[in-house]
Amino acid sequence: MNTKLDPWNSGEISDYSKLFEEFGISPFEALLPEVPNPHKYMRRKIIFGHRDYGQVAKAMREGTPFSAMDGFMPSGKVHLGHKMVMEQLIWHQAQGADAFFGIADREAFSVRGFSWPKCKEIGVEEYVLSLIALGFKPEGHIYFQSECENVKDLAFELGTKVNFSELSAIYGFSGETNLSHMLSVATQAADILQPELAEYGGPKPVVVPAGPDQDPHLRLTRGLAGKMNMFRLEAREDKNGKKYMSVRGKAAPAKALKELKNRIPGKVRLYEEHLDILEFSDPSGFEKLEKIVREVALEFGGYAFLPPASTYHRFMSGLQGGKMSSSIPDSHIALTEAPKAGAKKVKKAKTGGCVTLEEQKKEGGKPDECSVFELMLFHLIEDDKELLEIRKECLAGERMCGACKQLASELMYDFLKDHQEKRELAREQLDEYGINYKKE
């Protein structure tokens, strides 16, 4: 397929299964039984893939610390596609995650050329208000990249671990790419790793819910997490085929390596820049060894990041078929759109019905090719049984497109009206979320 995943200009993906082979994304379905109280996108196979989400599912089951992080470049109207990501972040927060939401104003400044005041206005008026209206709790963290010292400092450090050749291979950057655009990529990585900093409790599983077009950011950040760490834990094998573990720390202080030798139970051999664990006698196993290595790294001022996890959801199609695009008004519904206008767009949307009623009664409809059914699947109907019944009736030719359009348009009207009322309430709560903003 030779798919190109571009975070700034995502194309259509015709076969999501190809992403497993080409980019190493794992299928989510096999992991579903391990997730407590799974989100509707997980149950409905809208979330189709992941990287390393097992560590997050385990933290949820065991009640141990984990984080969820996401954000948006403030470049236009907030719409149903953004709502998908926001709802996943809010769901993770409800499952116990320390949740982070970043407004990527540095990215908008460098990629779109927006002024800082414009970034602030769009960030709050579109994205922040809708996030709060959808249920994001004040104990989470909402911030702007340009105002977050943690992110700016970490981005600078991360920049020492990546070069132009790597960025070119991952993102397709060329000699025409401006330096600020490249710096914004390091800032994205800092956004993702920020929840693991000491002031937020240190290393822990972090998940980023995303569309597959954002995977380049995750691949870059997972690599940078390892490069930034003081120690690298490796499985090795001697010339006789006997397996052992080795802790490498080229830039680590000699005292840190010596401290590791003192803390690791078993047979350990210390060298100038690494140590070999020939026998590890703690019955807790590999996880305990990882914990010791992380603790020592942090005590000696180093990093010990866990590679961030991610989930990937399918894109919604446009209301008229094809790709949903913010530049094509009839293809999407903004969360700030007048409820009557949103309902009208639903009634004009492309369906999976036949040309005539008689033919549809005989042949049945095609819900999997219907943008109206997709709206109900992704956004408008919470009850899985109700949704399944609609699908069955459509396939059997017992339900006509007019009935679905009427139901979906009414639900869309109700959602938009309720959401916009909650947005106005959210405006009065901005101080609770640490947002300093007044509408001009």
State pLDDT tens for residues 22-74: 677 999 999 999 999 999 999 999 999 999 999 999 999 999 999 999 999 99
φ and ψ at residue 137, rounded to 5 degrees: -90, 150
- Whether pLDDT at 230 is above 90: yes
Nearest to 109 by CA among 155, 142, 144: 144
Mean pLDDT, range 132-147, rounded to an integer:
97
Furthest CA-CA distance within the chain = 81
Separation of alpha carbons 76 and 282, rounded Å: 54
- Whether pLDDT at 17 is above 80: no
- Whether pLDDT at 325 is above 80: no
Mean pLDDT, range 350-361, rounded to an integer:
81
Mean pLDDT, range 119-136, rounded to an integer:
97
Termini Cα distance of the chain = 48
Tokens of 64: 């141990």
Task: Name the fold adopted by 329-433.
Answer: Tyrosyl-Transfer RNA Synthetase (1.10.240)
pLDDT-derived band of residue 293, with 50, 70 and 90 as boundaries? very high
3-state secondary structure of 192: helix
Mean pLDDT, range 434-439, rounded to an integer:
88
Sort 271 into a burial class: Cβ within 10 Å, 0-12 / 13-18 / 19+. Answer: exposed
Mean pLDDT, range 241-268, rounded to an integer:
93
Q: Where are the alpha helices (DSSP H) in 95-197?
A: 105-107, 116-122, 129-134, 149-158, 164-171, 179-193
φ and ψ at residue 210, rounded to 5 degrees: -160, 165
Beta-sheet strands, E only, within 274-338: 274-280, 309-313
Separation of alpha carbons 210 and 66, rounded Å: 17
- Whether pLDDT at 105 is above 50: yes
φ and ψ at residue 69, rounded to 5 degrees: -135, 140
Nearest to 41 by CA among 72, 80, 10, 85: 85
- Whether pLDDT at 323 is above 70: no
Residue with tokens 């664990």: 277
| Domain-wise residue ranges, the chain | 18-227+306-313, 232-299, 329-433
Tokens of 5: 């995943």
pLDDT-derived band of residue 7, with 50, 70 and 90 as boundaries? low
Percent helix, strand, coil in the chain, to 5, is 50, 15, 35
Sort 9 into a burial class: Cβ within 10 Å, 0-12 / 13-18 / 19+. Answer: exposed
Residues 6+ apart with CB under 8 A from 231: 247, 248, 249, 252, 260, 293, 296, 297, 302, 304
Give this prediction's pTM.
0.91
CB neighbourhood size of 280 (10 A): 19
Mean pLDDT, range 130-155, rounded to an integer:
97
pLDDT-derived band of residue 1, with 50, 70 and 90 as boundaries? very low
- Whether pLDDT at 234 is above 50: yes
Q: What is the dihedral of CA 31, 33, 34, 35, to 10 degrees?
A: 90
Tokens of 402: 């007019």
pLDDT value for 177: 83
Nearest to 315 by CA among 336, 330, 329, 331: 331
- The identity of residue 139, as a single letter, is E
Superfamily of domain 18-227+306-313: HUPs (3.40.50.620)
- Whether pLDDT at 12 is above 60: no
3-state secondary structure of 48: strand
Mean pLDDT, range 349-363, rounded to an integer:
82
Residues 367 and 355: beta-carbon distance below 8 Å: no
> Mind listing the pLDDT tens digit for each residue in 402-411?
999 999 999 9
